[in-house]
């Protein structure tokens, strides 16, 4: 019984560790990006914080005002994003 518990704990820690790494990479890629709200396409904001569990971000405008917990469904990247996937020609 003790071996089963140790194995379960190990698997759980692997999941937590991989989630942490994924979020760290996501933060590196997306923090500081310029976005706009779909309702206000001419207003550029900057991603300041990502709330992965809530699927929202805190955004900041040029005057320093922060808009908290903006849903990802309400925003779009302001700059073109060029994805290069392995084996993609």
Count of CB atoms situated within 10 Å of the CB of 50: 17
Segment holding 6, helix H or strand E: helix 2-30
| Average pLDDT across the chain, whole number | 84
pLDDT in tens, 9-45: 566 666 668 888 989 999 998 999 999 999 999 999 9
Residue-level pLDDT at 70: 98
Residue-level pLDDT at 14: 67
Q: What distance in Å separates the CA atoms of residue 81 and residue 62, rounded to the nearest whole number?
A: 22
Q: What distance in Å separates the CA atoms of residue 89 and residue 86, rounded to the nearest whole number?
A: 9
Q: What are the φ/ψ torsions at residue 58 (nearest 5 degrees)?
A: -90, 130
Q: How confident is the model at residue 63 (pLDDT cuts 50, 70, 90)?
A: very high
Q: How confident is the model at residue 84 (pLDDT cuts 50, 70, 90)?
A: low
Query: pTM above the 0.75 mark?
Result: no
């Amino acid at each position: 019984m003790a071996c089963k518990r140790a194995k379960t704990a190990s698997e759980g820690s692997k999941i937590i560790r991989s989630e942490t790494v994924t979020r760290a990479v996501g933060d590196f890629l997306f923090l500081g990006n310029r976005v706009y709200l779909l309702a206000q396409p001419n207003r550029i904001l900057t991603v300041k914080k990502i709330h992965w569990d809530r699927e929202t971000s805190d955004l900041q405008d040029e005057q320093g005002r922060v808009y908290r917990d903006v849903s990802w469904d309400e925003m779009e990247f302001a700059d073109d994003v060029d994805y290069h996937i392995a084996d993609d020609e």
